[in-house]
Structure 1
Amino acid sequence: MTDARPDLGTDDLPGGPAADVPDRGPGADAPTRRPSWRRVGPGIVVAATGVGAGDLVATLVAGQAYGYALTWAVVVGCVVKIALAEATGRFHLATGTTVVEGWRSLSRWATGYFGVYVVVWGFVYGATAMTASALPLAVLFPDVLPLWGWGLLCGVAGLVLVWTSRYAVFEVLMTVLIGVMFVVVVGLAVLVVPDVPAILAGLVPRVPDGSVIYTLGLVGGVGGTITMAAYGYWVNAKGWRDRGWLRVMRWDNRIAYLTTGVFVLAMLVVGAELLSTLAPLTEGDRGLLDLGAVLEERFGRAVSVVFLVGFFATAFSSVLGVWNGVSLLFADFVTVVRSGQGSPARSEHPERGLPFRLYALWLTFPPVVLVVVGQPFQLVLAYGVLGALFMPFLALTLLLLLNSPRVPQGWRNGVLSNVLLAAAGLLFVVLCVAQVRSLLAG
């Protein structure tokens, strides 16, 4: 039996149960697999990749400025990201194609935009990710290497690991890193003694004066940007390639983003309880070094060192995830562009192909120049504008694709999925306008 569902079913929430519909498309006769804890994997990878050091600082600042008043935004953010990731995974499993092929079927502008975006984004993100990974190492081992040396070492380590590791090994590495992140950050939240009644009160939606951008950022900013589009590729790499895996994919997706929600809430607790009476953190990844200094002053050097290890795990998981996931996206982009409108014959192991490896090299070596000399304003501006535009692009193109004949009738969006994707698209448009105005003004 297929794990399909009617368009207007009452169980339209991503991850809900399904009903049979007539469908003889690809994978229609695939047996339905049952969810289990041992099958969780790709969701953990996308969640670990999406939570970066800069996201943690943004959450800390929100907690520092507004306490627990924005707890509800963390919950809404989890629902939004579950909907987006479910839509990406469902498109891959329901159609037997990829999201890049879907963009090509919409219009050449979609693949053209992605092609420009992924090149510019990769150049600047490579420097950002390597710097974030290098910061805690430079503090822990100050006399071993300069910051750019640690950054290059982290980038090369990521390159070697994604070149030489098959998906199963890559998933284990990411699971270990997110395990370290989770234990350190949640342990820290317990250490500072959260105000549970205030957390529960914060579940009631309200927007304090001056908190609109922070609220939108918590809803839309934590848990992935371009790497959300890589979720379907990791689902396929796991061996989930037909509709029989949809229930498993939805389970995997929900567990991953619920874990992310707990992680983000823990950082909000730390900001509210530990930093509320202190000066604002430094912007960007370096704000976590401020937190490390506060922890050392209050709890001692050992706690600060453990936190810096968690900081490194958070940053390096993003290096590994992007080096693998976005390289998969780029490799598929090259294949789709070469093949035209048709469905390309993809390799079973794209990570062994030249496009994948060239993009991983692009992420690693050219950005070292930015790590050493700093990031030129014009490039940062271009990166910021393109980055702000990607999430509206993803949400709106998924909305188009999953309501089109490209997807078999029983697997298209229902009412709730359409509402969630449309709301996500609107949210990201507002965030995009705010970020672009901020970049141009600054």
Structure 2
Amino acid sequence: MQVDERGFPDAGDPPKTGRWKLIGPGIVAAATGVGAGDLVATLIAGSRFGYALLWAAVIGCIVKIALAEGSARYHLATGSTILEGWKSLGKWTSWYFGIYIMIWGFVYGATAMSATALPLAALFPFLPLWAWAMISGLVCAAFVAMNKYQMFETAMKLLIGFMFVVVVGVAIMVVPNIGEALTGLVPSLPEGSIIYTLGLIGGVGGTITMASYGYWVNAKGWRTPAWMGIMRLDNRVAYIVTGIFVIAMLIIGAELLYTAQITLSSGDRGLLDLDEVLRERFGPFVSVMFLLGFFATSVSSILGVWHGVSLLFADFVRNARGETGARQDLEKSPAFRFYLFWLTIPPMALLWFGRPFLLVVIYGALGAFFMPFLALTLIWLLNSSRVPKEWRSGWLSNGLLGIAALLFIVLCVNEVIGLIAG
């Protein structure tokens, strides 16, 4: 990879052929965003309503395409980062993001490590769950710290490729009802499905990591508006893959669980329930492959967050200090390594003692506000003079970002009401 006069990775001018070979940052973003909890939420939607909410999964992917595209477009069109854009909107954005990223990282670190430990403990029960959780966090932190972006991207592609083959393979094995699946593409709301519908549209495919997409695009060496077309191809392919992935999970839920009226546990442990169903139906080989796919899903989320959100934190610190020329060193910066530590070591206390109630409430409240914050600030930034006129949002982008903002505001209100009531 070449570097420019400032030391930034620079891929030069985009090639005229072979563009498909360059796809990568979008795959990283999509693999990071699809976690074990998202898979369970999709499975539960399929197990409760069959194919009726298939249309919501498709819309969810379209919404995520718009959000990720907007984030990366700001990077490419302006040469600035999304953190610099937020800073230009006022100090309130820095206060909100700074508090959010610290609390989010502490709680998410324990959640992600636990999710990755579940399939490992099922496959290799000679170590307890907490030990596998700690090993997962430490190994992923070491990998991110010792490798540059290209090696990280390669690992993420391998993981999402494996989990894609496993999940789509299982969906084919359960023999989907094509007629009912096509019917599910027609929007409908079965009784009691509104919250599941909103969650399916808003939940699968990333939260804070969507803001990391622009940094991964830059790490790939895509720096100028000339790369806009390849970025959009990369983004669309990634979320089409995510859409197929989500539809496959909905098919598994509809065919394997809905017809047999099997109920899954909520949260990551629901995938262990599904593993038992697969073992009874298809035997131990499919069960083991599914657990490995579960592991690939979970560890890709750890790696993506450990790398992408650490970049966001490092850029947050750079902006807070008023540094303007050190973006090329974000992966090497003390702030990046501190956040890797923050995601890995302090959350281990939560593995032992559980999550304090107040921390969970604050985490839930701040997290509920992040996606409306991202959608609304993207609308603001991408329609302002900060962006050259030819790269400002048109009616389609504004419409999709507006739908995303409205959707996430509804989800935010629902989450806050749930926290107050709970």
Work out whether the TM-score is over 0.5.
Answer: yes
How many Å separate the matches in 1 of 2:329 and 2:180?
49
Counterpart residue number, 2:129: 147
How many Å separate the matches in 2 of 1:356 and 1:402?
27
Which residues of 2 match residues 216-227 of structure 1 at below 5 A?
216-227=198-209
1:297 correspondence with 2:270: no
1:133 correspondence with 2:116: yes
Match of 2:293 among 270, 288, 310: 310
Letter in 2 for 1:250: R
Counterpart residue number, 1:59: 42
* Counterpart contact for 1:33–1:248, Cα < 8 Å: no
* Counterpart contact for 1:73–1:218, Cα < 8 Å: yes
* Counterpart contact for 2:57–2:243, Cα < 8 Å: yes
How many Å separate the matches in 2 of 1:346 and 1:326?
17
Letter in 2 for 1:292: D
Structure-2 change in CA distance of 1:397 and 1:34 (3 Å): farther
The count of residues paired between Structure 1 and Structure 2 equals 411
- For residues 69-110 of structure 1, the C-alpha deviation after alignment (integer angstroms, 9 at most, x for no partner) is 111111111110000000001000000000000000001101
Counterpart residue number, 1:330: 313
How many Å separate the matches in 1 of 2:87 and 2:18?
32
Counterpart residue number, 2:3: none
Q: CA deviation at 1:34?
A: 5.8
Match of 2:397 among 392, 413, 417: 417
Structure-2 change in CA distance of 1:33 and 1:327 (3 Å): farther
Letter in 2 for 1:390: F
Structure-2 change in CA distance of 1:370 and 1:31 (3 Å): closer
Q: CA deviation at 1:436?
A: 1.7
Q: Secondary structure at the match of 1:266?
A: helix
How many Å separate the matches in 2 of 1:184 and 1:436?
36
Structure-2 change in CA distance of 1:170 and 1:250 (3 Å): same
How many Å separate the matches in 1 of 2:411 and 2:119?
30
How many Å separate the matches in 2 of 1:410 and 1:35?
26
Counterpart residue number, 2:369: 389
Match of 1:369 among 323, 329, 349: 349
* Counterpart contact for 1:181–1:313, Cα < 8 Å: yes
Match of 1:250 among 220, 223, 232: 232
Match of 1:427 among 403, 407, 417: 407
Match of 1:264 among 232, 246, 255: 246
Q: CA deviation at 1:381?
A: 1.3
Q: CA deviation at 1:32?
A: 7.8
Letter in 2 for 1:63: G
Match of 1:167 among 134, 149, 169: 149
**Which consecutive unaligned segments of at least 5 residues does structure 2 have?**
1-9
How many Å separate the matches in 2 of 1:35 and 1:362?
40
Q: CA deviation at 1:178?
A: 0.2
Identity over aligned pairs, percent: 62
How many Å separate the matches in 2 of 1:126 and 1:112?
21
Counterpart residue number, 1:206: 188
* Counterpart contact for 1:226–1:326, Cα < 8 Å: yes
Q: CA deviation at 1:31?
A: 6.7
* Counterpart contact for 1:68–1:268, Cα < 8 Å: yes
How many Å separate the matches in 2 of 1:344 and 1:210?
51
How many Å separate the matches in 2 of 1:62 and 1:335?
42
Q: CA deviation at 1:35?
A: 6.8
Counterpart residue number, 1:438: 418
Most deviating of 378-387 and 43-52? 378-387
1:349 correspondence with 2:329: yes
Q: CA deviation at 1:279?
A: 3.5
Which residues of 2 match residues 12-31 of structure 1 at below 5 A?
none
* Counterpart contact for 2:47–2:262, Cα < 8 Å: no
How many Å separate the matches in 2 of 1:165 and 1:32?
26
* Counterpart contact for 1:295–1:304, Cα < 8 Å: yes
How many Å separate the matches in 2 of 1:142 and 1:373?
22
Q: Secondary structure at the match of 2:298?
A: helix
How many Å separate the matches in 1 of 2:16 and 2:233?
11
Match of 2:168 among 171, 186, 190: 186
How many Å separate the matches in 2 of 1:32 and 1:296?
48
Letter in 2 for 1:183: V
- For residues 149-189 of structure 1, the C-alpha deviation after alignment (integer angstroms, 9 at most, x for no partner) is 10010000110010011111000000000011100100010
Q: Secondary structure at the match of 1:348?
A: helix
How many Å separate the matches in 2 of 1:348 and 1:33?
27
Letter in 1 for 2:138: V
Structure-2 change in CA distance of 1:33 and 1:347 (3 Å): farther
- For residues 316-372 of structure 1, the C-alpha deviation after alignment (integer angstroms, 9 at most, x for no partner) is 000000000000000000000100xxx711242311110000000000000001112
- For residues 273-313 of structure 1, the C-alpha deviation after alignment (integer angstroms, 9 at most, x for no partner) is 00112332111001111101111111111111110000000
Q: CA deviation at 1:37?
A: 1.4
Q: Secondary structure at the match of 2:185?
A: coil
Structure-2 change in CA distance of 1:122 and 1:272 (3 Å): same
How many Å separate the matches in 2 of 1:34 and 1:390?
38
How many Å separate the matches in 2 of 1:212 and 1:264?
18
* Counterpart contact for 1:31–1:244, Cα < 8 Å: yes
- For residues 181-202 of structure 1, the C-alpha deviation after alignment (integer angstroms, 9 at most, x for no partner) is 1001000100111011111111
Q: CA deviation at 1:439?
A: 2.3
How many Å separate the matches in 2 of 1:226 and 1:380?
17
- For residues 398-424 of structure 1, the C-alpha deviation after alignment (integer angstroms, 9 at most, x for no partner) is 000001111011111111111111110
Query: TM-score, normalized by length of structure 1?
Result: 0.91
Letter in 1 for 2:401: L
How many Å separate the matches in 1 of 2:204 and 2:329?
30
The CA RMSD measured in Å over matched residues stands at 1.4
How many Å separate the matches in 2 of 1:31 and 1:322?
28
Match of 1:229 among 192, 211, 224: 211
Letter in 1 for 2:37: G
Q: CA deviation at 1:440?
A: 2.3
Letter in 2 for 1:361: F
**Which consecutive unaligned segments of at least 5 residues does structure 1 have?**
1-26
